[in-house]
Chains A and B, each alone.
Chain A
């Protein structure tokens, strides 16, 4: 049997707990590791993502380990854990906030990055990017272009102004619109 490398924790701190508390997720510290979250998690039963372990890592303050881990993005935000947690820890909301922190550190999946660019450019995650979708709308007696940011360029500009105002554009580096080099989209 191969030697399994022990990952010793040499530093325990309240960094993540403090950040979560300041953001309004005080209850994250009250997790008692009962495992109800992992028990119902649809992701955990098929991926390496273990909700209970994540909460423990948060309590231990293993910031870089938590935020750099791809597993953080295996949660489908079904909210089952949040509903069932006996300590009222808003687990899903904690995961979402940790994702925010991860993105702030530059940890984002390729297809998600492409999605941000698409959102900045069109105001949509799933835009009308081929003629067939307009034709399909017309087939069902709808106007080919829906009355969204697609139809109203001023609305598209409003959204872009807001994305600049919140600095979303800087955060997700939407600078150039070239989407050819990244996967993603339906």
Chain B
């Protein structure tokens, strides 16, 4: 979803990592991870095999995989873990991969970019690069949306089994000098996953409506995401919620959405245009769907 619908998430992350001296190498020939909410639900064996193929691309490079999407993280982390520990499943997967000259070796690790920034770089180091901080705040109230696959199932994830009230994403994002605001049911699913947005869009949008109402009640200025599917659901989904739940909500929602590296980029002093915060005027039907300009003007960012 990132390369094909939200390229500014790709470019913003590239820019932030470059400023932190972390090299990101492109994997060549990767396919859909495959998306856990749909393809894993259709056939687990296929999901393991296609996921393993993607992992072998990184194994050939001898590098860990860095992911910007919770869904991809859910898939590849779990495929990697399963095949590293289950000899029989690994044997079966490698029988399929052998037909295309590949082999899963279990030689690399799968990481989410939030994990890399939080554990490998550290909040303090990132704070040093930020123009803002506690003494020079950027007065935006942030509504963080962790998403689901970033933290669950917690057993094999690097967050000390914490999935009920984690704070690592808040700590990371607050280097921007903004405050992460608590809101009702903060860890509620956005509704997009599990194939729900695909097959029952209105059901998924009702989850989103509930989240937006809670965020609005808490006075949130900007929603922060770590996953493009959550991002799509909260951004384009917000427009859709305003339309189909028009009679159910008190008024249209107007809370713009930022992927967290877009916010970090702003904190590092990059321009809003290059971070994808302003919609390109030449194309239609492209994100951001809820405009960010008013929020940026509010904090004095030149647009």
Contacts and interface: CB of A to CB of B under 8 A. Distances in A.
Given A76-B207, A133-B5, A166 B43 contact: yes
A146 B4 contact: yes
B136 to A, nearest CB: 28
B29 A96 contact: no
Given A46-B206, A76-B192, A110-B199, A82 B153 contact: yes
B133 interface: no
Contacts of A79: 148-149, 152-153, 163
B227 to A, nearest CB: 12
A81 to B, nearest CB: 10
Contacts of B102: 158
B10 interface: yes
Interface stretch (B16-24, B104-112, B171-179, B279-287): B279-287
B287 to A, nearest CB: 9
Interface stretch (A11-19, A26-34, A111-119): A111-119
Contact of A159 (B3, B53, B204, B207): B53
B35 A125 contact: yes
B232 A186 contact: yes
Contact of A125 (B34, B153, B164): B34
Interface in B148-168: 148-149, 152-154, 163-164
Contacts of A112: 38, 42, 195, 198-199
Interface in B162-202: 163-164, 188-189, 191-196, 198-200
A127 interface: yes
Given A75-B194, A166-B43, A149 B30 contact: yes
A137 B276 CA distance: 11
Interface residues of B, number: 68
B260 interface: no
B31 A155 contact: yes
A119 B11 contact: no
B209 to A, nearest CB: 9
Interface stretch (B59-67, B92-100, B214-222, B291-299): B92-100
B118 interface: no
Place the interface of chain A in its size category: 35 or more
B100 A158 contact: yes
Contacts of A20: none
A148 B11 contact: no
A7 interface: no
B42 to A, nearest CB: 5
A128 B4 contact: yes
A116 B286 contact: no
Contacts of A126: 1, 4-5, 32
Interface centre among B27, B96, B149, B192 (most CB of A within 10 A): B96
A56 interface: no
A76 B203 CA distance: 10
A92 B200 CA distance: 19
Nearest to A164: B99
A124 to B, nearest CB: 5
Contact of B42 (A47, A155, A171): A171
B40 interface: yes
A27 B1 CA distance: 35
Interface in A126-147: 126-128, 132-133, 135-137, 139-142, 146-147
Interface of A: 42-43, 46-47, 73-80, 82-83, 90, 92, 96-97, 99-100, 103, 108-112, 115-116, 119, 123-128, 132-133, 135-137, 139-142, 146-152, 154-156, 158-159, 161-163, 165-166, 168, 171-172, 184, 186
Interface of B: 1, 3-5, 7-8, 10-11, 26-32, 34-46, 49-50, 53, 96-97, 99-100, 102, 148-149, 152-154, 163-164, 188-189, 191-196, 198-200, 203-204, 206-207, 210, 232, 274, 276, 280, 282-286
11 contacts: A42-B189, A43-B196, A73-B196, A76-B194, A111-B198, A119-B39, A137-B3, A139-B283, A151-B28, A168-B46, A186-B1
Given A96-B44, A115-B38, 16 more contacts: A76-B192, A76-B204, A78-B193, A103-B43, A116-B39, A119-B32, A124-B31, A125-B32, A128-B3, A132-B284, A132-B286, A139-B280, A155-B28, A162-B99, A166-B45, A168-B43
The 6 closest A-B pairs by CB, nearest first: A155-B29, A79-B152, A77-B194, A123-B31, A146-B3, A78-B189
